[in-house]
Amino acid sequence: MIQKIFENHSGNKANVGDIIDVVIDARVARDFGGANVVKNLEENNLSVDDPKKTFFTFDCNPGGCDQKYAANQHICRLFARKNGIQIFDINRGIGTHLAFEEGMISPGDTFVSTDSHANILGAIGAFGQGMGDRDIAHTFAYGKVWFKVPPTVKVILKGLPSKTTSAKDVVLKMIKEIGANGLLGYAAEIYGEYIDSLSFDGRITIASMATEMGGIIILFPPNDEISKFYKEKFGQTIKPVFADKDAEYEKTIEIDINGLQPMISRPGHPEDVISVDEVKGKKIDSGFIGSCTNGRLEDMRAVAQILKGKKIAPGRILKIVPATDSVWKICLKEGIIKIFKDAGALIGSAGCAGCAAGQIGQTGKGEIAVSSGNRNFVGKQGKGDIFLASPATVAASLVAGYITTLNDVPDEPALLELPKIEKQIIQKKKESLESPLKVTGRAWVVKQNNVDTDMIFHNRYLSITDVKEMGQYTFDNLKGYENFAKEVKKGDIVVIGKNFGCGSSRQQAVDCFKSLGVSVIIAESFGAIYERNAVNSAMPILIAEDVTKKIHNNDNISVDFITGEIYDGTQKKTYPAKPFSAVQSEIYKRGGLL
């Protein structure tokens, strides 16, 4: 499917491994990344290729309750007025969902955004990709951007889950089986009896968590419901893209979901999934229902069925945020909002909510929360511990006061005391450094896999646009490395494990290392978006197999970007790394993509 979509939007063959320019049908910048996109365009004297295909969506901080967010939103508004670009402002909801609702994109189309969950468009059989600020600026200016054609994995779900199991439980089962980096570098197509009958909203839930498996996208073959949606809402007869019957896949993954019961992800790692029964009874402080994964009307109705005539347990708070304004209005019309309010829940304006640190959904240190979001990385929604589950499990748990399922809600809730909140410590910044083609420096060896972007550069700093200010916050959310920014020296080299930089599309997670003067990052593999951001900003990165097992902390090493040779002067050993590609060399030599 992805090869066909790329070929339709490039005029070229899309063989796996090829690097081709792909025309983008809808180009979107959000509020936290939008100001940097504007900055990149204006500093490089670039104009907008096609204003009718270019959009801003303000979904991270719908309240404009942070001064820098508000300032960034206004920068985008001014730019949009000047260039005739449509804005879906703070009253509209999550941008990727508006792409469906507003007809920005149809099955078989292409879509990019500064949202790392732009691959949610796979739900309708369209291509979506989250990107950093430079990529989006390039797409705004030229209407296209380069992609490396990925191999495709075929995922087959076997059997049907239990009646109390939702699409969220199914995708948690998938991530348990596939892992946090099991789809790294792959597109995926998903099939099975369950998928054939799955609702539009359910498809969105599963598609939205491709990122949490390291995947580029999970593509769903469009079904009759998708065709009906576009016909009734837009009068459009879609032309879906399907894989050939003899299509060749990199591999096939079969996952048994027959009789599957409700699942839950333990704090810190979305892939650390167990049955809800294994943690049933654990007391909680709060709950969140919403995000691009579970803020749809189907989710709101499921929660309303559980909360009707009930109250949230004493001392707890349930925060509910519909994905879009249209979902919000239907909830109001159907009396769902009243059910939520009568139960004691807090209702937020449509948007991303706590997932982006710009709205309700944050947690305090020691707080135990259960969330319908897609990520529970350490610090992602504050300092609390977050379990991921379906909206039904969240609602049932908040009525009970402890984790439970919808068919096991007690008559009397559990009592609980609330924790205290401690202040955070802000660290000092470092200066930036220019890097040559060959570098020598001290090694910082971090023997961890799946270090995500919230560990690298936490989302509470996302409003920072000055690279000079970013270095001081590097790794301050990575346990054991909170003092990294104070102790690192110019020219030092970071050596780290697999899937480094997974998670968000934030450019700051790359630029913070440039700010500190880190000369190169050597990893066993990189998150897909992070790798692009590093290449595009001319931050040297190299991939080397088992490098954390070979190089020791504080070793003096030399790295040649062109040959890929790593020489450990302390151990007197030489190791190979994958050298710069032609594209990476070209972008690096000219100082960045733009």
pLDDT tens profile 544-587: 999 999 999 999 999 999 999 999 999 999 999 999 999 999 99
pTM over cut 0.75: yes
Contacts of 127 (CB under 8 A, 6+ apart): 2, 5, 6, 109, 110, 111, 121, 217, 219
- For residue 425, the model assigns a pLDDT of 62
With a cut of 50, list the residues of the chain below it in pLDDT: 418, 428-434
**pLDDT for the residue numbered 108:** 97
**Directed axis angle between helix 336-343 and helix 297-307, to 10°?**
50
Contact predicate 25/36, CB 8 Å: no
What token pair was written down for 313? Answer: 């347990």
Q: Which CATH fold would you assign to the domain 2-256?
A: Aconitase; domain 3 (3.30.499)
Fold for domain 263-400?
Aconitase; domain 3 (3.30.499)
Q: What is the dihedral of CA 93, 97, 98, 102, to 10 degrees?
A: -150
**What is the spatial distance between Cα 594 and Cα 583, in angstroms, rounded to a whole number?**
13
What's the pLDDT score for residue 420? 66
Judge contact between 24 and 113, C-beta under 8 A: no
Encoding tokens for residue 135? 């990529």
Alpha-carbon dihedral 64, 67, 72, 75, rounded to 10 degrees: 100
Report residue 533 as tokens: 């951001």
How much is the pLDDT for 435? 53
What are the beta bridge partners of residue 324? 93
Which CATH number does 438-589 carry?
3.20.19.10
pLDDT score, position 44: 97
Determine the Cα–Cα distance for residues 113 and 99; give it in Å rounded to an integer: 11
Domain map (residue ranges) of the chain: 2-256, 263-400, 438-589
Q: 438-589: same fold as 263-400?
A: no
